[in-house]
Structure 1
Amino acid sequence: MKLKNLVSAASLGIAMMIAGSPGIAAAQDANVLNIATDATFPPMEFVDKGQRTGFDVDIMNALAKAMGKQIQWTDIDFKGLIPGLIAHRFDAAISAIYITPERAQVVDFTQPYFAGGLSALVKADSPIKTLTDLNGKKVTVQVGTKSVNFLRDNYPQVQRVEVEKNQEMFDLVGIGRADAAVTGKPAAWQFVRTRPGFRVLDKELTTEAYGIAVRKDEPQLRDQMNAALAKIKADGTYDAIVKKWFSASTAATANPK
């Protein structure tokens, strides 16, 4: 889910210029939430047999039910989520978005709803054993995600290979055009569970939390979502969704403090 970098200054500037114009979200029925996601990041959000599904999708559907609202989904590339939100193209975005100080300067976030972090995935027979072994190697990352700047700032010797889609990262590792992929922990572990011949490095690169992004001019929506999140945690709905998509051990540590 998909994690996840700053919008570029240029794209942010364009979004801000058009933010004052009435958009899709503004024209909607008050009982309908227009929610954006990049459904290419299993198990957080993806398309299966033509249906949008995943952990984030189930969480958002549960929140909407608790709020007495319906959802209209908007599919968009991850790098367009923050600019599109600022530009009023939709009401909120849920797509394995890490809460970061940089993003919090331009959008608001709900309370964290899941603990995650960046992990490195390699082929099972790769000589890469530790994070320092990434130096000098080709490491693929998804454009617009936090992985891009994290590697640039912390592993400057890494040769970054930037791609548009999460699946492309894994494909490049599989065919040997990249030595590793850096992505969100849930996606990395989901991939190795479903595809033999790969492994995730034991040590995570980061430990972070996911949040739902909303505009700063919609504090009431943020508060409503926070109240709904507290409700589904109290009535057991949240735990049931976590257990559906993750192992029992993951479920025990999923709720960030």
Structure 2
Amino acid sequence: MDTIFANIRRLGLLIATVLLASSFAVVVSAETTFEKIKQTGKVTVGTEAAFPPFEFIEDGKIVGYGKDILDTVIADLDVELNQLDLPWQGILPGILAGKFDFVATSVTIKPDRAKQYAFTVPIAEGTTWIMKRKGDTSIKTVDDMAGKVVGTQLSSGNEAAAKEFQKDMISRGLKGFGELKLFTSYPEVTLALANGTLDVAVQNLPNLAVIIKNQPDLFELVGPITDTSYLAWVTRPEDTDLRDYLSQQILKMRDSGKIDELQEKWFGFKMEIPNKGYLPDGAL
């Protein structure tokens, strides 16, 4: 009989231990990404370092406008940074899969994305423009893309913008593009335009403005194909506390004049950083 009672007591202790462990696991799993960052003293971010002058590689290191903003944020957090350099096509799927803590690369704010990801306040304007080779008189307006070979980055906001503009052209009785070529990175798009593979490059205005500033004899702007839009960072939808912290830091830099300083450094001009009205309806 004593053996039976002893076994029951051991079984009860085992059940209690399992329940305690389960409750502890629930507490741990309830920890937010922001809390984890502060507790571990480490943060991992996803970046596409092929988007100059926002993020790019120089002397083996990630540099740029976005990197300077990130360094300021990391200094405030006082944590160790692990910055992953990834192809753009892996950035947004990667954040949802939990491969890093937030996206510290420039993401165009779009209605469909704003329902899937938590966007920070903007870090720059992201309006989609087109660029041509200098002296190409066959392209004077954006409608002259009809029948032309157009290029942009695969799975980017600019791919979606180009396709939407082509639909608009066709609805107005114009021809569509001769071809839409998609590339892994934007530097590949610029090279293809320079060597004649493309007639038109589609990209965000700040990037194109810097390309033309650096190579004024090769390229020139034509015009916008979207309304004014913005670029921002993103977190997972459940990490709104982290998103809010990042937004606070960006606005703090804006209000102190630091953002203006960095924009002059990397772009040579200033861009508006709004704190409202930049998100579409239904955004997280």
Alpha carbons 2:119, 2:235 under 8 Å: kept: yes
SS state at 1:111 partner: coil
1:220 deviates by: 1.3
Residue 43 of structure 2 corresponds to residue 33 of structure 1: yes
Alpha carbons 1:36, 1:81 under 8 Å: kept: yes
Instruction: Provide the residue aligned with 1:187 in structure 2.
Output: 207
Residue 144 of structure 2 corresponds to residue 133 of structure 1: yes
Alpha carbons 1:33, 1:69 under 8 Å: kept: yes
> Structure 1 stretch 90-99 or stretch 131-140: which is displaced more?
90-99
Structure 2 unpaired stretches of 5+: 1-28, 168-175, 276-284
Instruction: Provide the residue aligned with 1:15 in structure 2.
Output: none
Residue 62 of structure 2 corresponds to residue 52 of structure 1: yes
Instruction: Provide the residue aligned with 2:198 in structure 1.
Output: 178
Q: Tell me which of 163, 166, 169 is aligned to 2:183.
A: 163
Alpha carbons 1:141, 1:169 under 8 Å: kept: yes
SS state at 1:95 partner: strand
1:231 deviates by: 2.2
Aligned CA RMSD, in angstroms, stands at: 2.1
Alpha carbons 2:132, 2:220 under 8 Å: kept: yes
Instruction: Provide the residue aligned with 2:263 in structure 1.
Output: 242
State the alpha-carbon separation in 1 of the partners of residues 225 and 76 from structure 2.
35
Q: Tell me which of 196, 199, 223 is aligned to 2:220.
A: 199
Alignment of 1:104-143 (within 5 A): 104-127=114-137, 128-143=139-154
Q: 1:27 to 1:234 in 2, by over 3 A?
A: closer
**1:168 corresponds to which letter in structure 2?**
E
1:94 deviates by: 2.3
Residue 235 of structure 2 corresponds to residue 217 of structure 1: no
Structure 1 unpaired stretches of 5+: 1-19
Cα deviation code 1:36-59 (max 9, x no counterpart):
111011111101111110111111
Residue 258 of structure 2 corresponds to residue 232 of structure 1: no
1:169 deviates by: 0.7
SS state at 2:82 partner: strand
Cα deviation code 1:78-128 (max 9, x no counterpart):
111110000000011122211111111211011122222111111001121
State the alpha-carbon separation in 2 of the partners of residues 163 and 86 from structure 1.
23
Q: Which has the larger radius of gyration?
A: 2
Alpha carbons 1:26, 1:88 under 8 Å: kept: no
Residue 165 of structure 2 corresponds to residue 154 of structure 1: yes
Alpha carbons 1:67, 1:225 under 8 Å: kept: no
Q: How many residues align?
A: 231
Alpha carbons 2:165, 2:225 under 8 Å: kept: no
1:64 deviates by: 2.0
1:25 deviates by: 10
Q: 1:181 to 1:234 in 2, by over 3 A?
A: same
Residue 73 of structure 2 corresponds to residue 63 of structure 1: yes
Q: 1:218 to 1:30 in 2, by over 3 A?
A: farther
1:238 deviates by: 2.0
Alpha carbons 2:103, 2:235 under 8 Å: kept: yes
Instruction: Provide the residue aligned with 1:99 in structure 2.
Output: 109
Regions of 4+ moved over 6 Å: 24-29
State the alpha-carbon separation in 1 of the partners of residues 87 and 202 from structure 2.
18
Q: Tell me which of 256, 271, 274 is aligned to 1:256.
A: 274
Alignment TM-score, normalising by the size of structure 2: 0.76
Residue 93 of structure 2 corresponds to residue 83 of structure 1: yes
Alpha carbons 2:41, 2:78 under 8 Å: kept: yes
State the alpha-carbon separation in 2 of the partners of residues 88 and 170 from structure 1.
32
State the alpha-carbon separation in 1 of the partners of residues 62 and 47 from structure 2.
10
SS state at 1:126 partner: coil
State the alpha-carbon separation in 1 of the partners of residues 236 and 195 from structure 2.
40
